[in-house]
Chain A
Amino acid sequence: MAQSTSELPLQLIDSVVIRFAGDSGDGMQITGSQFTHTAALFGNDLATFPDFPAEIRAPAGTQPGVSGFQIRFAASDIHTPGDAPDVLVAMNPAALAVNIKDLKPGGTVVVNTGQFGDADLAKAKLTSNPLKDHSLDAYRVIEVDINKRVIEALQGSTLSPKEVQRCKNFYTLGLMYWLYNRDLEPTLKWLSEKFAKEPAMVEANQKALRAGYNAGDIHELFQGRYEVPRCEVLPAGTYRNIMGNQAVSLGLIAGAELAGLKIFIGSYPITPASPILETLASYKHFGVLSMQAEDEIAAVCAAIGASYAGHLGVTSTSGPGLALKQEGIGLAIAIELPLVIVDVQRGGPSTGLPTKTEQADLLQAVFGRNSEAWLPVVACATPSDAFECAVEACRIAVQYMTPVILLSDGYIANGSEPWRLPKIEDLKPFPASFRTELENFLPYDRNADLARPWVKPGTPGLEHRVGGLEKAHLTGHISYDAENHEFMVNMRAAKVMKVRDSIPTPQVHGPQKGKVLILGWGSTYGSIWGAQEKLAEEGLEVARMHLRHVWPLPHGLAEIFARYETVLVPEMNLGQLVRLLRSELPGVNFQSYPKVQGQPFRVHELTAKVKQLLGR
């Protein structure tokens, strides 16, 4: 469609960070994801960070009820959703109060003055009105009575006054689209599909969106408009925008296909992992059997039963659920069957911070079972990386006949970024093979990878029993023999360590030796990369490396670490990877940098830490 006729100058800028903030019921997540969708289609690089409360609808207008969505979109290759917003959209006083401290000095704040009455201020527990008390003097404040403007825009609509107010978010989105010279078309289309059965809703929201856009021209709210050009520096290819949970789901289906298997997912709803079960449930035409189990334990047990029956068993959960599943995972280790357990980590302990991110399940993943119960652990770095990691988890599970834990977290799960689509022919199959030959069959015989044969029940002549009691080497009969037990404990551990032979040594980016190597795992990836770039801009060259395989650790780390004076390990926990590293690679100067706030690392936090190490 034709863009605005505004005569205001269009300034080109490289990157913008916007945070939409409002009440849980204000539709900020939809607003943010629509802005994201449009930016992706336009061809920007982008990163998003939704941040919302655990309550579905906390009391309206209160600070705990504030829901936010931050997006950074850029013409250059970016790695994080940005440390501080350039623009804050605050739909009410609570949203303003919670978020204003993060806004860049001199940044723009768009305020919905229609929601700034005394009652609104009281709900937000504010004793004075920030629009009048000069507390916003350091920012450029744009005041718009969005409540009123929406009513004006929707005059004559058949919607109730309450429903009219629900269109506020699209008015706001329209305003932002004007400011950044964005095409309305993708959102207009989305609205007509989303509310296909409610034409009045489509019309009202589309009207609100256009009204917001036109308001930019008519009301002269802003002094200029901005354009963030397409990002042409990303590697060539076809892209789509993807959220972490979605990428995990697609990766699991792809992994099963590459193994020649069908997925059985047994899961129990839990924040922030539920979308994985929901997504897989919508892919039944890929042969996916999806079961919403009665609890976390039944979920993992059903997944194991399905693997026993010849499917690829999968279960998805978050930390508290992983704790419940651990006994079942121990059985899968004992009976040596493939299984993929996805743990989307969140703040803990106990219920903790269900909607916030954390990386504190690492040790639970590696060591969290009774006895010597080893398994491989893979960790995703970004939303798009989650696809590859899910495929990798499937590969290891099938090749080594073992449960594998795939660690994601709330930041990856709900965040999104452009994903360069893999060419199907580049995805290497790893077909599972089911034993059917009768001759010399031994249930606990092993191949070169130390994996035992997989027999689908129903195969004539190979009837055998497996279970949690210790098994005799080769025959799999129950055995209480002392030497056999130790042999089997070592065998199971050796099999897990053997995974190292099939994984690459991670690459070092930056100087191949020197003072500091920043070593990350999981979702700290973008912040670490961003920090490295920022430091380089300031003339400080440091190296970085990221671990996808956190257990077993890849070959070759000791030689690399020896080339640096300090290996800095930022983690959103109290230093769990560092504990593993110190026990596995003694003699390296590991420096832990823990942050446990339910929030990802900011780039400036990391650059400050590195500078401190460098004595700068």
Chain B
Amino acid sequence: MPDDIVPTTTAPKPAPLDKKAYKSDQEVRWCPGCGDYSILNAVQQLLATLGVPRHQLCFVSGIGCSSRFPYYMNTYGLHSIHGRAPAFATSIKTANPDLQVWLATGDGDGLSIGGNHMLHMLRRNVDVKVLLFNNQIYGLTKGQYSPTSPPGLKTKTSPMGSVDRAVDPIRFALGCGATFIARTIDTHQKHMLAVLEAAAKHKGTAFVEIFQNCVIFNDGCFDDVIERSVRDDKTVDLVPGKPLVFGKQLDKGVKIDAAEARVVTAAEATPWDPSTRSAAGAFVLSEMAEQPGNPTPIGIFRSISAPTFDEGMNKQVQTAIAKRGAGKLKDLLWTGDMWDVK
């Protein structure tokens, strides 16, 4: 039996690769115009830039449109069952720590049927990068309301409007104690690349909510915020170390004042630090868009350092071996109080 518990192979030195190298030979079967394409493109671009070797990547998903993602990546991939991808990703990273593990999920997969698993992966801080495609609708089952759909949304299963209150993915992740929380937009490649790069470099669970447009069942649901002509005035980018300024002219700012985030002039804007001990600032920002007229925060809400589950698990194995010696079959069985029969 090999003595090394943690694989010790070292990653070949990253070298920028061609984006095309990450495309699998499978035909992409999302609807024309779907926001998923741009996310796939950004991820492939990012991995090429970072030069992560294909064999050290593993994409895990659950069920839904977003969860077809692994099939389109020329890496290792596991398309699992509805909602449970976090459980698979947790053990894949723990049992095979050299892998960089990504998880593609949606608002239904990740926050409805899989909400429990998402909670526990976030609190455990497993080193997994989460892409949560939020389109506020069930796409693959053809247009039922989701846990992020706004109340009142009329769908096939809510002909009189949904009575459910919506869950906010950012606040959910904050509540779970996630160590990296960000939001980006499918149509904003530059922003998405920057956010995904920060996620890729984060050690621990990196949770990225992506506003993703479903052209068939919920077309334009984010348009009042993300449409190019209004985007600069309707969003505020949370950039670590930078003041919270926004607007076409960068003349407006956001000031976090006790339990409230207010729009102020750029000069008065709060400098943003997502690594403070308290998550209160991030929480206040996550709620601000509910006030009419306020911008929607995108960017990095939270980025703190904490021990990861996968390392902790493997460390315990190493500690046990150091203390007790690597287990031998004979000692496993032939132990305790024994007696002989002749």
Residues of chain A at the chain B interface (Cβ within 8 Å): 37, 40-41, 43, 186, 231-232, 234-241, 250, 253-254, 257, 260, 262, 264, 266, 283-289, 291, 293-295, 297-299, 301-306, 308-311, 313, 327-328, 330-331, 335, 420-422, 424, 427, 456-469, 477-478
User: Chain B residues in contact with chain A, CB under 8 A?
Assistant: 1-2, 5, 7, 9, 24, 26, 53-56, 58, 60-61, 63, 70-71, 73-81, 84, 86-92, 94-96, 98-99, 116-117, 119-120, 313-314, 316-317, 319-321, 323-327, 329-330, 332-342
B339, A41: Cβ atoms under 8 Å? yes
Identify whether the interface residues of B are mostly helix, strand, loop, or mixed.
mixed
Question: Which of B7, B74, B96 neighbours the largest number of chain A CB atoms within 10 Å of its CB?
Answer: B96
A463 x B76 contact (CB < 8 A): yes
**Contact assessment for B338 and A465 in the assembled complex, using a CB-CB cutoff below 8 Å:** no
Q: A236-B341, A466-B79 are in contact. Are A304 and B88 (CB under 8 A)?
A: yes
B94 contact from A241, A289, A295, A299, Cβ within 8 A: A289
Whether the pair A463, B317 counts as a contact (CB closer than 8 A) is: no
CB distance from B252 to the nearest CB of A (A): 42
B117 partner residues in chain A, CB cutoff 8 A: 294, 297-298, 301
From B319, which residue of chain A is reached at the shortest CB distance? A284
For the complex formed, measure the closest distance between the CB of B50 and the CB atoms of chain A, giving whole angstroms: 17
Which of B80, B95, B334 has the largest number of chain A CB atoms within 10 A? B95
| Cα(A462)–Cα(B316), bound, Å | 31
Cross-interface CB contact of B333 among A234, A254, A310, cutoff 8 Å: A254
- Are B327 and A285 in touch, CB under 8 angstroms? yes
Beyond A313-B91, A468-B80, whether A284 also contacts B333 by CB under 8 A is no
**A327→B113 CA distance, assembly (Å):** 13
Would A285 and B321 count as touching, CB distance under 8 A? Answer: yes
On whether the beta carbons of B94 and A285 are closer than 8 Å, the reply is no
Q: Closest 6 A-B residue pairs measured CB to CB?
A: A467-B79, A286-B327, A305-B88, A301-B87, A305-B91, A284-B320
Contact B95 A468 (CB under 8 A): no
Residue of B nearest to A455 (CB): B76
Task: Tell me the complex Cα distance, A462–B91, Å.
Answer: 20
Write the chain A residue with the least CB distance to B96.
A309
A470 CB → nearest B CB, Å: 12
- In the bound complex, residues from chain A placing their C-beta under 8 Å from that of B319 are 284
Q: A297-B84, A298-B116, A458-B7 are in contact. List 8 more A-B contacts (CB 8 A).
A: A41-B337, A250-B333, A285-B324, A286-B327, A457-B58, A463-B75, A468-B80, A468-B81
Q: Is the CB of A40 within 8 A of B55?
A: no
A293 to B90, CA, bound (A): 10
Kindly report which residue of chain B lies nearest to residue A301, judged by CB atoms.
Answer: B87
Question: A459 contacts which chain B residues (CB < 8 A)?
Answer: 55
Q: How far is the CA of A295 from the CA of B119 in the complex (A)?
A: 12
Task: Please name 15 pairs of A and B residues whose Cβ atoms are closer than 8 Å in the assembled complex, sorted by A.
Answer: A232-B341, A241-B337, A262-B95, A287-B5, A289-B313, A301-B80, A301-B84, A304-B80, A305-B89, A308-B88, A309-B96, A427-B329, A458-B98, A462-B55, A463-B54
User: With a CB–CB cut-off of 8 A, which chain A residues contact B24?
Assistant: 465
**Given that A239-B340, A331-B80, A331-B81 are known contacts, is A458 also in contact with B55, CB under 8 Å in the complex?**
yes
B104 to chain A, nearest CB (A): 12
Residues of B within 8 A of A309 (CB): 91-92, 95-96, 99
A283-B327, A297-B87, A302-B88 known; A457 and B334 CB under 8 Å?
A: no
Which B residues are in CB contact (< 8 Å) with A253?
327, 332
Asked if A283 contacts B332 (CB within 8 A), the reply is yes
Tell whether, in the assembled complex, residue B341 and residue A287 are in contact, meaning their CB atoms are under 8 Å apart: no
Cα A128 to Cα B209 in complex, Å, equals 70
Q: How far is the CB of B70 from chain A (nearest CB, A)?
A: 5
Are A289 and B95 in contact (CB-based, < 8 A)? Answer: yes
Q: Are A328 and B99 in contact (CB under 8 A)?
A: no
Interface-central residue, B78, B120, B317, by most chain A CB under 10 Å:
B78
Q: With A250-B332, A289-B317, A291-B313 as given contacts, are A43 and B341 in contact (CB-CB < 8 Å)?
A: yes
Given that A232-B341, A297-B84 are contacting pairs, would A288 and B89 also be in contact in the complex, using a CB cutoff of 8 Å?
no
CA distance A302 to B128 in the complex (A): 14
A254-B332, A478-B26 known; A236-B95 Cβ under 8 A: no
Per the bound structure, the CA–CA distance linking A330 and B88 in Å amounts to: 14
Residues of the A chain whose Cβ atoms lie less than 8 Å from the Cβ of B58? 457
Complex interface: chain B residues within 8 A of A297 (CB):
84, 87, 117
CB pair B339 A238 closer than 8 Å: yes
Chain A contacts for B78, CB-based, 8 A: 305, 308, 335, 465-467
Q: How far is the CA of A286 from the CA of B316 in the complex (A)?
A: 11
Bound CA span A231–B341, Å: 8
Query: Bound state CA distance, A266 and B309, in angstroms?
Result: 14
Query: A257 with B329: in contact, given A421-B334, A469-B79 (CB under 8 Å)?
Result: yes
Q: A287-B317, A305-B92, A465-B77 are in contact. Are A458 and B99 (CB under 8 A)?
A: yes
In the assembled complex, how far is the CB of residue B294 from the closest CB belonging to chain A, in whole angstroms?
Answer: 35
Chain B nearest CB from A119 CB (Å) reads 41
B95 neighbours in A (Cβ, 8 Å) = 262, 264, 289, 305-306, 309-311
Q: What residue of chain B has the Cβ atom nearest to residue A37's Cβ?
A: B337
- Which partner residue on chain B sits nearest A466 by CB separation? B78
Chain B residues, Cβ within 8 Å of A291: 90-91, 94, 313
Name the A residues within 8 Å of B329 (CB-CB): 254, 257, 424, 427
Nearest opposing residue in chain A for B120, CB measure: A294
Q: Residues of A contacting B314 with CB < 8 Å?
A: 289
Residues of A within 8 A of B91 (CB): 264, 266, 289, 291, 301-306, 309, 311, 313
Q: Most chain-B Cβ atoms within 10 A of its Cβ — which of A236, A289, A420?
A: A289
The chain A residue with its CB closest to the CB of B22 is A463
User: Are the CB atoms of A467 and B87 closer together than 8 Å?
Assistant: no
B92 touches A460 (CB 8 A): no
Chain B residues within 8 Å of A464, by CB? 76-77
Question: Residues of B contacting A468 with CB < 8 Å?
Answer: 63, 79-81
Q: Is the CB of A240 within 8 A of B87?
A: no
For residue A461, which residues in chain B have a CB less than 8 angstroms away from its CB? 55
Q: Report yes or no: B96 in contact with A456, Cβ–Cβ below 8 A.
A: yes
CA distance A421 to B314 in the complex (A): 31
Residue of A nearest to B67 (CB): A467
A467 → chain B closest CB, angstroms? 3
Q: Which residues of chain A are within 8 angstroms of B60 by Cβ–Cβ distance?
A: 305
Bound state CA distance, A200 and B240, in angstroms? 59
Please state if A240 and B77 are interface contacts (CB–CB under 8 Å). no
- The complex places the Cα of A253 from the Cα of B1 at a distance, in Å, of 12
Residues of A within 8 A of B75 (CB): 463
Residue numbers in B under 8 Å from A262 (CB-CB): 5, 95
Instruction: Find out whether the CB atom of B94 lies under 8 angstroms from the CB atom of A264.
Output: yes
User: Which of B90, B96, B316, B338 is close to A458, meaning CB atoms less than 8 Å apart?
Assistant: B96
B98 touches A293 (CB 8 A): no
**Contact (Cβ within 8 A) A477 B76:** no
In the assembled complex, the CB of B117 is this many whole angstroms from the nearest CB of chain A, namely 5
A238 touching B340 by the CB < 8 A rule?
Answer: yes
List of A residues within 8 angstroms of B334 by Cβ: 238, 421
From A232, A253, A266, A291, residue with most partner B Cβ within 10 Å: A291
CA–CA, A328 to B63, complex, Å?
A: 13
State in angstroms the CA–CA spacing of A173 and B320 once bound together: 36
* Among A299, A311, A427, A465: residue with most chain B CB under 10 A: A465
List A contacts of B2 (CB < 8 A): 260
Task: List the A side residues contacting B324 at CB < 8 Å.
Answer: 285
Are B9 and A234 interface neighbours, CB within 8 A? no
- Measured between C-beta atoms, what is the minimum distance from A96 to chain B in Å? 33
